[in-house]
Amino acid sequence: MHSPYDYQKKAALTLDDGTIFEGLSVGSATEAEGEVIFITAMSGYQEVLTDPSYHGQIVVFTTAHVGNYGTNPRVDQAPPVQVAGAIFHELWEPPVDHWLSERSLPEYMRANGLAGLTGVDTRALTLHIREKGARNGWIGPMSDPGAARAKARAIAPMTGLDLALKVTCEKPYKLSAKPSQTVPSGPMPVAVLDFGIKKAILDNLRAQNLDLTVWPANTPHGTFMAEKPQGLFLANGPGDPAACGYAIESVRATLGKIPVFGICLGHQIMGLAAGGTTYKLPFGHHGLNHPVKDATTGRIWLTSQNHGFCVDPDSLPSNVAVTHVNLNDDTLEGLEWLDLPAFCVQFHPEASPGPHDADGLFKRFRIMLEDFYA
């Protein structure tokens, strides 16, 4: 089946190694640049496009047909669109036969100023990234291949980039708890450091009857602790965790004083605060079906993931234990402190999109808070 929309303008993705992948331009912008990564998700494209963890990246969707159920603003995780660009094998244009759809994906891209390509051999592009590693790339017209290659080579590498400050909130704000019968005890105040937090994570925390104060990423320890939170949550986010020295310092000062829970970039920052180191993965983990093993119980979870950096388990002190391991490549996926109320995971237990195998970790955080203050 082919899209009825008549894409006319030829364009291409040019990688910094000189490789060119041709396609047709979609969206309102005609150019885009960033690190090119691939995602194996077969659904949830709108959540991906609005996830701040993808800030500065061009996302290649490996599933062959994208956009068939349209878009809905209620699905946005952190509007406006966060990705630098999007690449598809086949992008579907109206009509969309889905009862929740308010706008087609191409219309959504045009309304949000997002550049993209359709008609690309995404299988070949994905295999190239798997073999060569994540590359920087430039989306634009095919008129001057030499100039396109020069633009791709001039893009700053992801290593060393602090992108959390580009996506964090400008000032603190509060969100009230959502009491429920599953959490009979009263609300508890929690500070959230926003490195690029998703709406679904905030919803899951509030569902545990937690009153949230969301702080900008570079908020000092003393500032958020002055509000007397009973816990600290560290959000997901983009970029190199080692570049976030301000956050590492704040977390190091907080560990042991109140319970701490981190996800994704927050997990990496906790590992660095413990004295560990991080390194860049060849092409990262981006998808909804990554198998992770709980080292304590032996249980296998399917998880939603989006990260390009990883904590080195050999760099960690003896009071920090590995709790989860990625079964695809044996990389570290979770940590807990043996002598402090603190734990973190590399994957996304809130899903959105993805499986909900690990959503019980939000309840674990709530229980940790209650036990600490019992």
Query: Looking at the annotation, which residues are catalytic?
Result: 264, 348, 350
Assigned token pair, 278:
């991080």
Q: What are phi and psi of 319, to 5 degrees?
A: -85, 5
CA distance 294 to 322: 9
Residue 95: asked if its preceding bond is cis (omega within 30°), the reply is yes
Read off the amino acid at residue 187. P
**Virtual CA dihedral for 105, 286, 160, 164, nearest 10 degrees?**
60
Q: Tally Cβ neighbours within 10 Å of residue 174.
A: 10
Q: Tokens at residue 73, please?
A: 């603003």
Q: Rounding to the nearest 10 degrees, give the CA dihedral for residues 20, 24, 25, 31.
A: 10
CA distance 67 to 84: 18
Residue 170: phi and psi, rounded to 5, are: -80, -30
d(CA 234, CA 194): 7
